[in-house]
Structure 1
Amino acid sequence: MGNVVAHLLLTNSMTDPAPYSIMSRLTQYLPIIGWLRTYSRQDFNDDLFAGIITAILLVPQGIAYSILAGLPPELGLYASILPPTLYALFGTSRTLSVGPVSIAAIMIASALSAPEISALGNPVQSTVILSAESGLIMLLMALLRMGGLVNFISHPVLTGFTSGASLLIIANQLPQLAGLKSPSCGLNAACYSTYVQGFNVATLGIALAALSVLILFGKPLTTLLKKIGLSLSIVTAISKCAPLLTVLFGTLAVSYFNLQSQHHVAVVGQVPSGFPLLSLNFIDGEQWRLLLPSAAFIALIAYVESVAIAKVTANLRGEKIAPNQELIALGASNLAAALSGGMPVAGGFSRTMVNFAAGAKTQMAMLIAAGLLSVAVMFFTPWFEKIPKAVLAAIILMAIMPLLRLKDILHTWRYDCGDGIAEVMTLLGVLVFGIEEGISLGIILTIASHLRKSSQPHIAVVGRIPGTEHFRNIKRHQVETWQDLLLLRIDESITFTNIVYIEEYLTAELWRQPNIKHVVLIFTSVSDIDTTALEALENINRALQATGKTLNIAEAKGPVMDKLQKTDFVEQLKPGKVFFRSADAVKELAGAIEPRLLLGIKE
Structure 2
Amino acid sequence: MYMPASLFRKLAVKIPLATSLKTYRWELFHSDVFAGIITAILLIPQGMAYALLAGLPVQVGIYTSLLPAIAYVLFGTSRVLSVGPVSIAAIMVASALSSPEIMEYGTPIQNAMILALEGGLILCLMSLLNMGNLVHYISQPVLSGFTSGAAVIILISQIPHMIGLHVQPCNTIENCVTQIPTNINVHEMGLGLLAFSLLIIMGTPLSKLLIYFNLKKSLRTALTKSAPLLSVISGTLLVTLYSLQNTQGVDIVGSIPQGMPEVSFSFLEISTEHALVLLPSAIFISLIAYVESVAIAKVMASARGEKISPNQELVALGTANLASSISGGMPVAGGFSRTMVNYSAGAQTQIAMLIAVTLIAVVLHSLTHTLEYIPTAALAAIIIVAVTPLVKLKSIFQIWHQDKADGFSQAITFIGVLALGIEEGIILGVVATVFNYLKRAGKPHLAVVGRIKNTNHYRNINRHNVETWKHLLLIRIDENITFANINYIAEFIEKEQKNYDAKTIVLIFSSVSYVDTTAVSTFKEMIAGLRLTGTIIHLSEVRGPVFDKLKKMDFFNDLLPGRVFFQTNEAVTNVTKTLN
Which TM-score bucket, shorter chain as reference? over 0.9
The aligned runs of 1:129-148 (5 Å cut-off) are: 129-148=114-133
Aligned CA distance change for structure 1 residues 346 and 53 (closer, same or farther; 3 Å)? same
1:507 corresponds to 2:490 = no
Equivalent pair of 1:310/1:321 in contact (CA under 8 Å): yes
Q: In the alignment, which residue of structure 2 is the partner of 1:498?
A: 485
Aligned CA distance change for structure 1 residues 89 and 520 (closer, same or farther; 3 Å)? same
Q: Secondary structure at the match of 2:463?
A: coil
| Aligned partner letter, 1:368 | I
Report the Cα offset of residue 182 of structure 1. 6.8
**Take 1:269 and 1:569, find their aligned partners in 2: how far apart are those partners?**
77
Report the Cα offset of residue 593 of structure 1. 6.4
Report the Cα offset of residue 566 of structure 1. 2.3
Tell me which stretches of 4 or more aligned residues in structure 1 moved more than 4 Å.
182-185, 191-195
Equivalent pair of 2:167/2:180 in contact (CA under 8 Å): no
C-alpha offsets along residues 343-385 of structure 1, whole Å, 9 cap, x if unaligned? 1110000000000000101111001101100010111011111
Report the Cα offset of residue 448 of structure 1. 0.7
1:286 corresponds to 2:273 = yes
Aligned CA distance change for structure 1 residues 280 and 254 (closer, same or farther; 3 Å)? same
Q: In the alignment, which residue of structure 2 is the partner of 1:341?
A: 328
Report the Cα offset of residue 178 of structure 1. 1.4
C-alpha offsets along residues 189-227 of structure 1, whole Å, 9 cap, x if unaligned? 9x9989846311111111111111111111111111112
Counterpart pick for 1:580 among 557, 566, 569: 566
Report the Cα offset of residue 511 of structure 1. 2.4
C-alpha offsets along residues 503-533 of structure 1, whole Å, 9 cap, x if unaligned? 11112112222x2100111011101011110
Counterpart pick for 2:542 among 538, 541, 556: 556
Moved more, 19-28 or 107-116: 19-28
RMSD: 1.8
Q: In the alignment, which residue of structure 1 is the partner of 2:521?
A: 535
**Take 2:308 and 2:178, find their aligned partners in 1: how far apart are those partners?**
46
Q: In the alignment, which residue of structure 1 is the partner of 2:400?
A: 413
The aligned runs of 1:142-221 (5 Å cut-off) are: 142-181=127-166, 196=180, 198-221=183-206
**Take 1:241 and 1:493, find their aligned partners in 2: how far apart are those partners?**
54
Equivalent pair of 2:88/2:150 in contact (CA under 8 Å): yes
1:517 corresponds to 2:500 = no
Q: In the alignment, which residue of structure 1 is the partner of 2:242?
A: 257
The aligned runs of 1:364-383 (5 Å cut-off) are: 364-383=351-370
**Take 2:62 and 2:157, find their aligned partners in 1: how far apart are those partners?**
21
Counterpart pick for 2:6 among 17, 21, 34: 21
Report the Cα offset of residue 121 of structure 1. 5.3
**Take 1:278 and 1:291, find their aligned partners in 2: how far apart are those partners?**
22
**Take 1:48 and 1:237, find their aligned partners in 2: how far apart are those partners?**
12
Count of aligned positions: 575
Q: Secondary structure at the match of 1:481?
A: coil
Q: In the alignment, which residue of structure 2 is the partner of 1:247?
A: 232
Unpaired segments of 5 or more residues in structure 2? none
C-alpha offsets along residues 415-466 of structure 1, whole Å, 9 cap, x if unaligned? 1111111100101111111111000110111011001000100001111112
Moved more, 360-369 or 175-184: 175-184
Q: Secondary structure at the match of 1:480?
A: coil
**Take 2:499 and 2:185, find their aligned partners in 1: how far apart are those partners?**
75
Report the Cα offset of residue 59 of structure 1. 0.8
Counterpart pick for 2:423 among 436, 440, 444: 436
**Take 2:498 and 2:251, find their aligned partners in 1: how far apart are those partners?**
77
Q: Secondary structure at the match of 1:520?
A: strand
Q: Secondary structure at the match of 1:591?
A: helix
**Take 1:516 and 1:392, find their aligned partners in 2: how far apart are those partners?**
73
1:113 corresponds to 2:88 = no
Q: In the alignment, which residue of structure 2 is the partner of 1:601?
A: none
TM-score, normalised with respect to structure 1: 0.93
Report the Cα offset of residue 591 of structure 1. 2.4
TM-score, normalised with respect to structure 2: 0.97
Aligned CA distance change for structure 1 residues 370 and 195 (closer, same or farther; 3 Å)? farther
Q: In the alignment, which residue of structure 1 is the partner of 2:20?
A: 35
